[in-house]
Homo-oligomer: A and B are copies of this chain.
């Protein structure tokens, strides 16, 4: 009777692909990997769900594609010394529309998922952690970087995912202020053999 829906989507493979990618990015950020169903993704993309498997093979591969597709922008943007603050701000912001923020929150919401763990480990180890580690010349730079990253993610978890107050209600500026005051303690440039 009343058809408010096109009887069939126009043939446009790249459009469907990116629509799926976009919907997946949003939903993974909202609910995490485990709580997101392929049916939801397909529905939000307004695409038949069988196409999800045609284009990406499996839910996990889709997740991998979302991660790698979005996180590059954040990593290679600006002066390296600003990276901690940038990461932290991305983790704190909940409703930004940019892909990078989506990715980080999706990551937070999927941290405890066995099926996503390998991907996340690679993503964190290969990108964020390495970049942070390059900020200091301490001998155990990578461990220090992990500790900083762990702090950012922990704060992001309790704030955006768990929504625990008062952290969830605090203004991002205050949180950033506190954290960035402590970070140089771990990521310092002139540890022992330093010259400025």
Contact = CB atoms under 8 A, between A and B. Distances in A.
Interface in A61-102: none
Interface stretch (A2-10, A16-24, A170-178): A170-178
A157 B185 CA distance: 22
A113 B34 CA distance: 9
B154 A166 contact: no
Chain A interface main SS type: helix
Given A149-B158, A157-B150, A158-B153, A181 B185 contact: yes
A159 to B, nearest CB: 8
Given A117-B163, A150-B167, A151-B151, 20 more contacts: A34-B34, A34-B35, A34-B112, A108-B112, A111-B157, A112-B157, A117-B161, A121-B162, A124-B164, A125-B164, A140-B166, A142-B166, A143-B166, A146-B164, A150-B155, A151-B154, A151-B155, A154-B157, A157-B157, A181-B185
